[in-house]
Amino acid sequence: MSWTNIFRTVFVLLMAGHVLVMYSLARTQQHGFGFDLNTAILSILFALLMLLPLAPAVALSDLPEVYSRTVRRRRFKNGLCPACRYPVVPSGGDICQECGTRMIQPDPYRFTWSMARRFAFFALIAWIVGSIASEGWLIADEAAFRKEAEAEALKGRDSLLRDRRWPGNGYLVWDVDQGYFAAQGSPFSIQYFSPPAPTNAESE
Ligand SMILES: [Zn+2]
């Protein structure tokens, strides 16, 4: 794997991580428990919207290319082979005596549409992979919570509340009467969603 490909892979992974967090933020703000198609569509669109501010990073994905071209041009100007830095032999013609590279001035780096298309392709991969990973992570967390609640029920308890796993936001709640649902807020003032807050919780 070349340095350029490693750089691009890391670049796509970072974008996918950004999508994962943004998707999770949108999904858990909807206060649902479990997969819901409308919430998933909303979250995936939100993640896409949050990718747009990264468009200027289009230049980043070609940074290794920019660097190598700059280095090659500088070598050529200094009378060295652009590929291997071997000094140019005056009678050597237009072929490097050391490595056989043609001695022509390398083109400077320029923005091209192929670069923009490549970025769009990277963003698309990151968007899809990040969204699927985020939804999968949240579903796995909810499934784990169900298991925890079942274990609590076996111990004779009638409710359970815990934080969602990062980067999920808010709480997962189980109540023997109302089942599974999501909640938001601080540990001291929790706001319950779908189903409504238990009415007699404080009076007892
Ligand atoms: Zn050379």
Give tens-digit pLDDT for 138-182.
999 999 999 999 999 999 999 999 999 999 989 999 999 989 999
102 CA → ligand 1 middle, Å = 8
100 CA → ligand 1 middle, Å = 6
93 CA → ligand 1 middle, Å = 13
81 CA → ligand 1 middle, Å = 5
8 CA → ligand 1 middle, Å = 27
Q: Report the 10 Å Cβ neighbour count for 36.
A: 13
Q: Which of 75, 64, 55 is nearest to 123 (CA)?
A: 55
- pLDDT for 75-98, tens place per residue? 999 989 999 998 877 776 788 888
Sign of CA dihedral 113, 116, 117, 118: positive
Q: C-alpha 19: how far from its chain's center?
A: 4
Burial of 102 (0-12, 13-18, 19+ CB in 10 A): exposed
Indicate the average pLDDT of the chain: 87
- pLDDT for 109-139, tens place per residue? 887 888 788 888 999 999 999 999 999 999 9
The rounded distance, in Å, linking the Cα atoms of 2 and 165 is 36
194 CA → ligand 1 middle, Å = 70
Cα three-residue angle 96-98-103, rounded to 5 degrees = 15
Q: Is the pLDDT of residue 203 over 70?
A: no
Go through 4-20 and write b for each residue having 16 or more CB atoms within 10 A of its CB, e for each that does not.
eeebbeebbeebbbbbb
Q: Which of 25, 36, 34, 40 is nearest to 141 (CA)?
A: 34
The single-letter code of the amino acid at 53 is: P
